[in-house]
Every structure is written in C-alpha cells, then in structure tokens.
Amino acid sequence: MQLYKTKIQGTGKYHPDKVLTNDELSKMVDTSDEWITQRTGIKERRISDLEKEEYPSGMAERAARQAIENAGWTVDDVECILFATTIPDMMLPNTASQLQARLGITNQCACLDINAACTGWLYGFQMANSLIQTGVYKKILLVGTEMASGFNNWQDRSTCVLFGDGSGVTALEATDADGDSFVIDSIMGSDSSKRMALAMPNGAAMSPITHEILDNREQYITMDGQVVFKSAVKTMASHCATLLERNNMTLDDIDWFIPHQANLRIIETVGKLLKFPSERVITNVQKYANTSSATIPTAMHEAIADGRIKRGQTIMLAAFGAGLTSGAAILQF
Ligand code: COA
C-alpha cells in the first residue's frame, strides 16, 4: 500500500581538496594521460587525507550537513540513515552510526550500512523509497560515500587509475502533495556468476590479513576490466529499457540521464545502445574518476546546484558494481 511519495528534498556533496592528475599518476605507475583519457575519460581524481578526517563518515558529515540545510531540516529530523559504502570507517560499528554521532543526532534514529559497491546508493534509493511509501519513515538520509584510495593498489596501473574519493548525500522526504516529486519505478539485481570479476578477496572473514598477503600486496582490489565493462554496458542499458517499457515511457519522457560514473566509454556505449541524446547525459567522471556509491548523488547534486535539473523534470538513473550488482530508477524530481 502506498501512503506517501518520495521527494528529493535536499542534496549535498563533498570531495577532498587533494587532486591527483593523470600526469601525476604517470609518475607513480607506467601509464599516461593519453591512455587514461582515451580508455576512461578520466582526467583527475580526489584523494582523502586522514589527517583531515576524510574517511567515509568524515566526508559524509560535510555532504550531509549541506543536504540537511538544503532540505530545511535540523539534524534531529533524520529518522533513518542508510549509508552505502564499500569500505566502512571500521568493521564495527557501522558507518551510519559513526555519521549519526558526527552529526550530533540525539534521537537514536535507525542506522544501516549498505554494501552493494557502486550500486549501493541506488539500492539504498529503492529501499528508502519503499520505507517512505509505506509510512515507516518520513525523513531518510541516503548516503553514498567512498574512500577508494583505501582499496587501490597504487602499484597496479590496471585499477588505480580508475577510482577516486568522495561523498554524495540525499535528503529524502515523504510527501502526499498532488503534483509533487515521486519515484516512478526502480529495478535492482545482481549477477553473482561474475562476482569475482571485481573483488577484494582478502582482509575479511574468509581470508584474514596475514604477513604473506601484505608482502604479496594481495589486500587490494582485483578486477577483470573487460568482463566488468561488457556486463556494465549490457545490464545498465537493459534495466533502463525495461523501466521505460513497463511504464509506457519513451526517451522523450526523460529530461536527464545520470549513469554511474565509472568510465566515459561505458557511459557513451550505454547512451548509444539506448539512443539517448548525449547532451542530456550528466557526467562528472572526468573530474572525480569512479567514486563508486558516491557518483550518482554527487553528479545529481552538481546538476541541481547549477540549475540543469529543475523541479518537475524526469530523471533516469542506472548503476552497476561489484557483485556484479546493477540497477536503474526513474523519478520525477
Ligand atoms: N596505462 C597504460 N596501459 C595500461 C593501463 C594503464 N593504466 N592499464 C592497462 N594497460 C594496458 C594493459 O596492460 C594492456 O597491455 P597489453 O596489451 O600489452 O597486455 C593494454 O593496456 C590493454 O589492456 P586492457 O585491459 O585490454 O584494456 P581495456 O581496453 O579493456 O581497458 C579498462 C581497460 C579497465 C579501462 C576497461 O576494461 C574498463 O573500463 N573496464 C571497466 C572497469 C570499471 O569500470 N570498473 C569499475 C566498475 S564499478
């Protein structure tokens, strides 16, 4: 039963100040600005400084304060924090609880971490929408934050050029006003047959860190880039096509497309498969690289802040990530 609709009431983002350009990276590993730009579109990325508390909860606090202010809330209005992140602050407590403490929320709101890698924010969006529609919560803080520099192997050129750090936070609020924003539809999934194509197999329960793992530098992310590329393109395009078809919509009904910002070539290929006009695709991967669960909320925040996305417009979102998880959603802003 649907009691309420979900409105994106406020957004915020944070990226660390420290910029790492492709030219600087090419002094660290055998790569070049030309190779990275051609294969990914990425020009630079941001890197966290732990001295500045730019770990997940620290970045998320800055983005969350902005989202809460934009939404016109106080911190104690927050009834639930859904925190999508791949690498938490600590194994325990969860990072949502860390954020509750940092924000000074005293109402003992619900705190849950979501790990669906780069699809985490979108998974959280579907969960938050269900919780709001059914009247469980009226105000949810949905966080996508990643400190990818913590899992990057800075000696592996095939992965370290791809990722960056950042945080995007969305303040979601229940509404029952006619003509107000709402989520039109969403779809989530995962293809676990390809789960080891993007993995960090060591450092948790199955394979705790040992001296041998550290000596062999096996504590970092591993990836089969081509498997991930092909799967990303196929699943994002097919999820979007499914949503359009089952809601009797065409591309003309969509004002903006915000895909997960992993790689400009993936974004362009999905756009071509869908025949979606490139001028209506929002990107920021060039500036920040792949910030995993933070890419969609930060790109959305930027496009709202600079006036591209306006109230009443229709937005299509799509993401994929380790799992291999994937999803898409269409909403009226
Ligand atoms: N700089 C220079 N050369 C590099 C390099 C780098 N940073 N990384 C890899 N190479 C080399 C490889 O060693 C290989 O050399 P070889 O032909 O001598 O063996 C060559 O470039 C081609 O490598 P390949 O892996 O086939 O390149 P690719 O065209 O598949 O592009 C990716 C690699 C990673 C850019 C691409 O596969 C991709 O974008 N995959 C998706 C990754 C992703 O988005 N992951 C996150 C998901 S959320």
Helical ranges in the chain per DSSP H: 22-25, 33-40, 56-71, 95-103, 120-133, 157-160, 211-215, 225-246, 264-274, 285-288, 295-305
Which of 202, 260, 263, 301 is flagged as catalytic? 260
At residue 263 the predicted structure's pLDDT band, cuts being 50, 70 and 90, is very high
The CA distance from 180 to 158, in Å, is: 45
The CA distance from 225 to 199, in Å, is: 11
The candidate with the shortest Cα–Cα distance to 291, out of 20, 6, 24, is 20
Q: Identify whether 118 is a catalytic site residue.
A: yes
Q: Identify whether 152 is a catalytic site residue.
A: no
Per residue in 115-166, pLDDT tens? 999 999 999 999 999 999 999 999 999 999 999 998 899 999 999 999 999 9
pLDDT value at residue 179: 82
Core vs surface per residue 103-127: b (16+ CB within 10 A) or e: bebeeebbbebbbbbbbbbbbbbbb
- CA-nearest residue, atom 41 of ligand 1: 229
pLDDT value at residue 178: 85
> What pTM was estimated for this model as a whole?
0.96
pLDDT value at residue 59: 98
Per residue in 208-227, pLDDT tens? 999 999 999 999 999 999 99
* Helices 295-305/120-133 angle, 10° precision: 70
Which of 118, 160, 263, 284 is flagged as catalytic? 118
Q: Are 270 and 96 in contact (CB under 8 A)?
A: no
The distance of Cα 63 from the centroid of its chain, to the nearest Å, equals 13
**Ligand 1 binding pocket mutation candidate from 21, 86, 196, 229 (most atoms within 8 A of CB):** 229
Cα three-residue angle 122-260-243, rounded to 5 degrees: 60
pLDDT value at residue 151: 87
Determine the distance separating the centroid of ligand 1 and the alpha carbon of 229, expressed in angstroms.
10
CB neighbourhood size of 327 (10 A): 27
DSSP 3-state percent helix, strand, coil across the chain (nearest 5): 40, 25, 35
Per residue in 69-111, pLDDT tens? 999 999 999 999 999 999 999 999 999 999 999 999 999 999 9
**Ligand 1 binding pocket mutation candidate from 115, 226, 270, 325 (most atoms within 8 A of CB):** 226
Per residue in 222-245, pLDDT tens? 999 999 999 999 999 999 999 999
